[in-house]
Structure 1
Amino acid sequence: MNLPATTTDSILQALQRLIDVVAQLRSPDGGCPWDLAQTQQTLIPYVIEEAYEVADAIRSEEQKAIAEELGDLLLQVILQAQIASEAQDFTLKEIAEGITEKLIRRHPHVFGDLEVKNAEEVNKNWEQIKAKEKQQSVAEAQLLSNKLKRYVGRLPALMAAMKISKKAAGAGFEWEDSAGVWAKFTEELGEFKEALATNNKEEQQAELGDLLFTIVNIARWYDLDPSEALQGTNRRFTQRLTIMENFASRPLEEYDINELEELWQQAKKQLKQ
């Protein structure tokens, strides 16, 4: 569906204004010292932070908040493009053209003559096209190790663990029933406790990782999202802490553990109401 010309024009005008504002912020002549000091590398934390804030806004289903956070994320894209253009590496034009061509190339069933019957065939064709782009054979692209390497280092650890767990299970690395995954959890918990009894920090870290990965597998078995679950716990904890501070007559650090527990229970009770 094509947008009306007036709508398209207004969108392009708004986008151009944002591009101009960012260019002025980065201008050596009257620009902002903070913006001028930024590099592609220093902006990495902001890209990640803004992406998470977009996700949080989407969870809230507050459309105004979603629009605002998407704007903050778009700013990071424009900033990266501006910095790259100053170094004559690439511009926003190359970014837009690149993703547009990729979408067209990877959707031959929409922009070409290929016919597909369902989403499964779409995914199969997508993987074949990606393999060709990377100059890999289909066989190489289908190697489980190559699939899993894409997640390590590119995604937050918990999200990567879930994706790796799902891919591995699909390739046959799976327990026969839920009892198997719970037995693995008990085994890994025991190994973690044994590691804690040593002074070997590297071993302790490794066993903690194994235990967390097993918990991710448990989540997958019960069709739960560990990232969403932990996000919910973080949110509830901070909500309860806010209520505790409202109940408290002095700073929380001046309370003993029993008094804090009493405030905690009061906060839980209020939230349930």
Structure 2
Amino acid sequence: MGSPSSTPTLAALAELIAVVARLRDPEGGCPWDREQTHASLVPYVLEEAHEVADAIRHGDDQHLAEELGDLLMQVVLHAQIASEEGRFDLAAIAAGLSAKLVRRHPHVFAEAEAADSAAVKQLWEAIKTEEQIQRQAANTTEAQTSASPLSDRLAGKVRGQPALAGAMTISKKAAAAGFEWDGIDGVWEKVHEELDELKEAVDEARASGDRAHAQEELGDLLFTLVNVARWCGIDPEAGLAGTNRRFLDRFSRVEAALGGDLGGRSIQELEGLWQQAKAQIRAENGSPASP
């Protein structure tokens, strides 16, 4: 394989840029691609990023290469849109990224030292904090005297993240700043408190039809469960993704057992088939049956 700067790599990137530009061409391009804006493409950026993560979890190189291509397409398309408006292009994106990587890795490109990954992370965070302070100072005088610098940084950091990932980011940063329980028992107490409040809010919503409060309480419970995940050192996103896969595997077996038609079946029958599906999967995976 050639290096990233090899001729075949550059040629392939140049071809991709040309293809995307042709799709956006007002004369003979694709109507759908021509209509897209940065805002309209947001759902697709998120979807492609999640599909990349899913391909990684499944360990399928062919699928991963394809999904990374789809994600790269989003980057090139956004660059093309901005280029048409004279704001920036893919070259500016790449140059800015290279400069940022060099700046944030002084232990590689300069004289700083970092003995292990923990030291690298600490150095990285210090540099990012300094960059944020400089940006704030360049924007407004008010930003220089912000009374909530951590909150301001986190608001910008999580703005583009999925809610679950954003919750974990906020939880970690707030805990590192000292906003933390004394032990995990306090986290569990908060879980039960939020669960009780959600139950009460749901009952209110069923009576009044107003779901706004219930939605707020659901968010509070989910955020607290993210804190449980942080305390236990587990990834809530990976956990939920695994649950989705397991549910679909079991559900497909229930559907197959009923010939694809669930209509008119009792919950008792469906639950029985669900338990059978779980047992089948355990047996296939070589796991002992639960009592």
The answer, yes or no, to whether TM exceeds 0.5 is yes
Structure 1 SS opposite 2:259: coil
Match status 1:101 vs 2:107 = no
Structure 2 residue corresponding to 1:243, chosen from 231, 234, 253: 253
Contact 2:201–2:214 (CA<8 Å) still a contact in 1?
Answer: yes
Match status 1:233 vs 2:256 = no
1:108-187 map, 5 Å: 108-134=106-132, 135=134, 136=136, 143-187=149-193
Contact 1:151–1:164 (CA<8 Å) still a contact in 2?
Answer: no
Cα displacement (A) at 1:99: 0.5
Using the alignment, how far apart are the partners of 2:156 and 2:14 within structure 1? Answer: 34
Using the alignment, how far apart are the partners of 1:234 and 1:250 within structure 2? Answer: 19
Question: What is the match of residue 45 of structure 1?
Answer: 43
Deviates more, 1:93-102 or 1:155-164: 155-164
Deviates more, 1:139-148 or 1:125-134: 139-148
Contact 1:58–1:66 (CA<8 Å) still a contact in 2?
Answer: yes
Structure 2 residue corresponding to 1:32, chosen from 10, 30, 33: 30
Cα displacement (A) at 1:139: 9.7
Q: Deviations over 1:67-109 (max 9, x none)?
A: 1110110111111111111122211111111101111122122
Match status 1:203 vs 2:209 = no
Structure 2 SS opposite 1:173: coil
Q: What is the identity, as a one-letter code, of the residue corresponding to 2:51?
A: E
Q: Deviations over 1:113-148 (max 9, x none)?
A: 223344444334333433443315899799432343
Question: What is the match of residue 56 of structure 1?
Answer: 54
Contact 1:141–1:147 (CA<8 Å) still a contact in 2?
Answer: no
Q: What is the identity, as a one-letter code, of the residue corresponding to 2:165?
A: M
Structure 2 SS opposite 1:115: coil
Q: What is the identity, as a one-letter code, of the residue corresponding to 1:43?
A: L
1:75-90 map, 5 Å: 75-90=73-88
Contact 2:23–2:29 (CA<8 Å) still a contact in 1?
Answer: yes
Cα displacement (A) at 1:210: 1.6
Q: What is the identity, as a one-letter code, of the residue corresponding to 1:62?
A: D
Aligned residues: 271
Contact 1:47–1:76 (CA<8 Å) still a contact in 2?
Answer: yes
Q: What is the identity, as a one-letter code, of the residue corresponding to 1:82?
A: Q
Question: What is the match of residue 289 of structure 2?
Answer: none
- The answer for unaligned runs of 5 or more in structure 1 is none
Q: What is the identity, as a one-letter code, of the residue corresponding to 2:200?
A: E
Cα displacement (A) at 1:236: 0.9
Q: What is the identity, as a one-letter code, of the residue corresponding to 1:65?
A: H
Question: What is the match of residue 221 of structure 1?
Answer: 231
Deviates more, 1:150-159 or 1:75-84: 150-159
Q: Deviations over 1:222-271 (max 9, x none)?
A: 22211111111111111112122222135212423222223222322222
Using the alignment, how far apart are the partners of 2:129 and 2:145 within structure 1? Answer: 9
- Change over 3 Å in CA distance of 1:191–1:4 after alignment to 2: closer
Match status 1:270 vs 2:277 = no
- Change over 3 Å in CA distance of 1:100–1:116 after alignment to 2: same
Question: What is the match of residue 8 of structure 1?
Answer: 6
Cα displacement (A) at 1:3: 4.9
Q: Which runs of 4+ in 1 moved over 6 A?
A: 137-142
TM (norm. structure 1) is 0.88
Structure 2 SS opposite 1:176: coil
- Change over 3 Å in CA distance of 1:221–1:79 after alignment to 2: same
Using the alignment, how far apart are the partners of 2:115 and 2:259 within structure 1? Answer: 65
Contact 2:158–2:169 (CA<8 Å) still a contact in 1?
Answer: no
